[in-house]
Amino acid sequence: MTATNYTDDEPNEQTRLLSPSKKGKGPTPLPKMQLGILMLLQLAEPMTSQCIYPFINQLVGELDITGGDARKVGYYAGLIQSLFFATEALFILQWSLLSDRIGRKPVLLIGSAGLCISMICFGLARTFWGLVASRCLVGILNGNTGVMKSMVAELTDSTNLAQAFSLMPVVWCIGATAGPLMGGTLSRPHDRWPRVFSHPFWIEYPYFLPCAASSVISAVVFLISGIFLKETVQKNKTSKSVDVEPIHHIDVPPQNKIQDGPLPLREVLTRPVVIAVANYGMLALLEIAYCAIQPLFYSMPIELGGLGQSPASIGLILGAGGFSNGLFQAFFFPKIVGKWGPKKVFMVGMLAFIPMFGLFPVINQLARESGMTQTVWALVGLQLLVSIIMDLSYGCIFMFITAAAPNRQSLGATNGIGQVVASVLRAIGPAASTSLFAASVENNWLGGYAVFLILIIGSCLSFFVADMLPGDAFATTSKNEES
């Protein structure tokens, strides 16, 4: 097959944002060592954030703040998750801008140290505000997500970007598998292994062990990154007007000269950036709402709208979903995007939220009528399967945001803006969704299922925002590899 040539003087919304840099040649080999270290940094994020999911509702229920009312657990559990993203939203852009100037590596190391310290604090917290403070601490110190995406883009070119970005959801899924399994298995070790964990410390702090385990992993990743990770930002001693190669070979006339170095934020906010970031925000909002409701739904009693599962069972369910997701992303993401293009894949992923939310009331209703039958478990598995399709959207939107950056020196700022928007909406999502869940059950709105109707309506609206993305972007990359 022959790649299509584009000769427009300036790229517009329908121009392929990623043009092949090497016509007729295969993809550039990935820098495996450096990408491997970045993937370790990526792995630590979901392991530390999601290891608390199997026990967070039980932990909050044991605090005096709920007054023993299980229906109020959703309010406080959602608030703990939201405050992390709220503090992250306040600081992540500053970390991204700082990484454009001082380099990516120092910022990534600070973020890893923040993960390590905050998880120790979380495991030792015995009050609600202690839990809040520990989650806010990691939100303040952690700017890794946007910086890692910038570094991946700097280590690749247009021929292997999709392959590199396909690794990020895979690693995230591995962490999302190991984190809940670790949180569910290692929580309350005194109850599970009383002979080994007989010290009163484990009775006083029953959830410290999974937090400590994830903290140790972050510490190991910190050491590996500090020794072996190489800086990708080239610091210029002088600022001058030069020909700057835009991100991934977007065709710009040679007479267009832009200032060497990071651009002001106002100039970074171009229309392609705004559209890509808006879609990232919608994806982040709906996905975090689903992730916040999912463990709450599994843990709530059946008569209160859930499935009444234990932390260990919740960890196994979430772990199985993450493991399956990781395998699917690893083997099929590049092929699917290469065949259908990132816009179509992204839009299908956004539509997947409709059955994901719609299955919650169906599953609970069947459990109320006949208990935890094989049909109920089959529908739980179907819901996890649909969420795998949804997760394809992340790799696609990362590609759109990267390609929308005005120049390489503003890549950190572009990803930072995306992470700010995503973090703000992720701060709203858990508290709003779990509070709506609790309010729906408490007030019996639509039989306790009103929250899912609201989220389904939001999922439908996101489809119209996704339709604004550039059509068939990036497809020349995969076609050129086949020719």
The residue among 34, 29, 32 whose CA lies nearest residue 108 is 34
Q: What is the pLDDT of residue 121?
A: 93
CB 299 within 8 A of CB 314: yes
CB 232 within 8 A of CB 154: yes
pLDDT one-digit tens code per residue, 298-325:
999 999 899 999 888 888 898 788 778 8
For the chain, give every domain's residue range.
36-232+262-482
Looking at the DSSP assignment, which residues form a beta bridge with residue 258? 242
Q: What is the pLDDT of residue 76?
A: 81
CB 403 within 8 A of CB 87: no
Q: What is the pTM of this model?
A: 0.70
Q: What is the pLDDT of residue 474?
A: 43
DSSP assignment of 93-162 equals: HHHHHHHHHH-HHHHHHHHHHHHHHHHHHHHH--SHHHHHHHHHHHHHH--HHHHHHHHHHHH--TTTHH
Angle at 115 between CA 109 and CA 121, to 5 degrees: 135
Q: How far apart are CA 270 and CA 404, in angstroms?
A: 8
Which residue stretches of the chain have pLDDT < 70?
Answer: 1-26, 66-68, 70-71, 235-262, 472-483
Q: How far apart are CA 210 and CA 231, in angstroms?
A: 32
pLDDT one-digit tens code per residue, 53-82:
888 888 888 887 766 676 677 778 777 877
Q: How far apart are CA 452 and CA 450, in angstroms?
A: 5
Q: Among positive and negative, which fits the CA dihedral 297, 218, 137, 390? A: negative
Q: Which CATH number fits domain 36-232+262-482: 3.40.50.1000, 3.40.50.880, 2.40.50.100, 1.20.1250.20?
A: 1.20.1250.20
- Output the six-digit token pair for 282: 């919608």
Q: How far apart are CA 153 and CA 164, in angstroms?
A: 8
Q: What is the pLDDT of residue 431?
A: 77
Q: What is the pLDDT of residue 84?
A: 76
CB 462 within 8 A of CB 354: no
Q: What is the pLDDT of residue 138?
A: 83
Q: How far apart are CA 423 and CA 418, in angstroms?
A: 8
